[in-house]
Chains A and B, each alone.
Chain A
Amino acid sequence: MNLIVSNRERIAIVDDDKAVRDVYAYAIGGDEFEPVDQVGPLGSLDSFLGRHINATAAVSDHKLTQQGNYAQFDGAPLVARWYQKDFPAVLCTTYSVSSADHFRSFRRWIPVVLPPEQLSQETVSEGLGVVRAELAGVFKPERRPRRALVRFVEYVEQNRLVYVKLPGWGTDVVSLRVPDLPSGLRSLVTHVPDFRAYAQVNLATDSPNELYLAEWEFKS
């Protein structure tokens, strides 16, 4: 029997739809990567993170809870938690202005978001390079976290959004989902007018969609 040892990097493919996983695997497959299908159910985020997935990096779709009981979590928190555990991954999703709000609290730990149509061996290779550089402490200027003043200007109860301004970044108003904020901050920003706090923000980005706010500092 001949034993064939692959030099390709094993990339976990995560999506709740088997057909989509196959498409992703086909898109990135080739000389560089060997796709590793992650078959559900994946269970809770903590249990999946404790599972051996036989890969050194991953590509995950964002929506993981639409089909059956594939996962009890979505891709953005998964990729963010992987980053915090020094495991590189790329999030694959269509990125709209509305989803920018949804991802903003995770983006500190999600350096690369690729739309499905751009998924390829080349883009994943480049994306994982960016993630690995950040994990080694090397940031692109537009991704580097900086301590920044954040002023909360409005709370809209109906959709549980708060609007903030960042004088060190620009004049645009940026929205955040209240449930994504630390629990101690939520009541302050929904009750105290003009509340000011500090957060780690990638101040050098030009794009509101790429802007993240994380690691809050505030006085109650």
Chain B
Amino acid sequence: MKRMGLIFRSKATRALDRAEDPRETLDYSYTKQRELLVKVRRGVADVATSRKRVELQMTQLQQQGDKLHGQAQQALGAGREDLAREALTRRSGLQQQILDLQTQHAALQAEEEKLTLASQRLQAKVEAFRTKKETIKASYTAAEAQTKIGEAFSGISEEMSDVGLAVERAEDKTAQMQARAGAVDELLASGALDDVTAAPNSDIDRELASISAGSDVDNELAALKAELPSGERQAIEGGTGPAAAPASRDGAEQPEVRPDQDPPPTRGGTP
């Protein structure tokens, strides 16, 4: 067949040439296979841990974004468009972070699936190897062992190389992502993400707090006034109270009277 530039030819293992007793090679290889299997499973767990960490960060950033959105609404309600704009600007900075994390999350998820499948393949092959190994050891005669052992190794060492490389690559990727995740954690902890694009000397939280504190005081004052006996209320409200109250009461009664009064003229007009 024509030589392929990119495609590599697989080489069969030569490990058994070095062993005094080929059966020891079988056991040694099996031990190595089991070790690799443990390593792959640990790799899957590591990637899953990283994925969960990114998920947690996405939730935290999302919550911060929701909070800023609520603050923007609150600021608009208080007539502070400048604060609302600032909150929304900070929020858009967070959205970018969230998008980055989503990309990382997808990559980790793909890596996790790939490694899980690799682990399943390796496990099936290790199991098949074990069966072959036991058969060979049971019916051992030096002559037939040489050929059978050669056959037993086919496929397994290739799979081990592949899976071994896959685990290494996954570890590298996970390490990179953990470094980035660590940076995001630090940002979240420092509160610096609140200030991604904001002017240094303005604090949405504090200003909104003072606005809402101010309106809370007004509301409580109004409630306290309402609870006072009418004499005291008049004393507090001064001369305007007694004069204004009857006037507004009269004004409220008049419209209620009119609908009753209106029909008679209409009836009188029709005959």
Partners in one complex: no
B interface list, Cβ under 8 A from A = none
User: Hey, which bits of chain A sit against chain B, CB under 8 A?
Assistant: none
